[in-house]
Chains A and B, each alone.
Chain A
Amino acid sequence: MNAALWPYLILILVGVLPNEVWRLLGLVTARGLDEGSEIVLWSRAVATAILAGVIANLILFSAGELASVPLPVRVGAAVCALAGYFAIKRSVFAGVVAGEAALVLGSYLFVR
Chain B
Amino acid sequence: MSASDTARPSTAATFFAGVRSAYFSVFFLVLAGTYIGMGALAHGVGLSSWWLALSTILVWAAPAQLILISGLGSGASLIELAIAVSLSATRLFPMVVALLPLLRRPGTRLRDMLMPTHFTSISMWVESLRLLPKVPPERRIAFCNGLATGYMSTAVVFGFCGYYLAAGLPPMLSGALLFLTPLSFFLSTVRNSRTMIDKTALIIGLVLGPAFAFWKLPLDLMWTGIVGGTAAYVVHRVREASQQ
Contacts and interface: CB of A to CB of B under 8 A. Distances in A.
A65 B26 contact: no
A14 B191 CA distance: 34
Interface of A is mostly: helix
Contact of A62 (B59, B96, B178, B201): B178
A104 B206 CA distance: 24
A21 interface: yes
Contacts of B226: 46
A47 B126 CA distance: 11
A90 B194 CA distance: 13
At the interface, is chain B mostly helix, strand, loop or mixed? helix
Contacts of B47: 7
Interface residues of A, number: 73
Interface string B200-244: 111111111110110000001110111111101100100000000
Interface in B90-131: 90-102, 104, 110, 113-114, 117-118, 120, 122, 125, 129
A41 B207 CA distance: 21
Given A21-B86, A53-B206, A64 B94 contact: no
A19 B86 contact: yes
Contact of B225 (A14, A21, A47): A47
Contacts of A87: none
Nearest to A4: B48
B80 to A, nearest CB: 10
Interface string A42-59: 111111111111111111
Interface residues of B, number: 99
Nearest to B114: A27
Contact of A50 (B65, B91, B187): B91
A42 B41 CA distance: 36
Most buried by A among B113, B118, B190, B202: B190
B153 interface: no
Residue with the greatest number of chain B CB neighbours at <10 A, chosen from A25, A58, A74? A58
Contacts of B65: 15
Interface of B: 26, 29-30, 37, 41, 47-48, 51, 54-55, 58-59, 61, 63-66, 68, 70, 72, 78, 81-83, 85-86, 88-102, 104, 110, 113-114, 117-118, 120, 122, 125, 129, 171-172, 174-176, 178-191, 193, 197-198, 200-210, 212-213, 220-222, 224-230, 232-233, 236
Given A29-B97, A49-B232, A53-B221, 12 more contacts: A15-B59, A18-B86, A23-B96, A44-B98, A46-B94, A48-B229, A52-B224, A53-B224, A54-B221, A66-B178, A95-B183, A100-B176
8 contacts: A15-B85, A23-B93, A26-B93, A26-B117, A30-B100, A45-B236, A57-B213, A93-B26
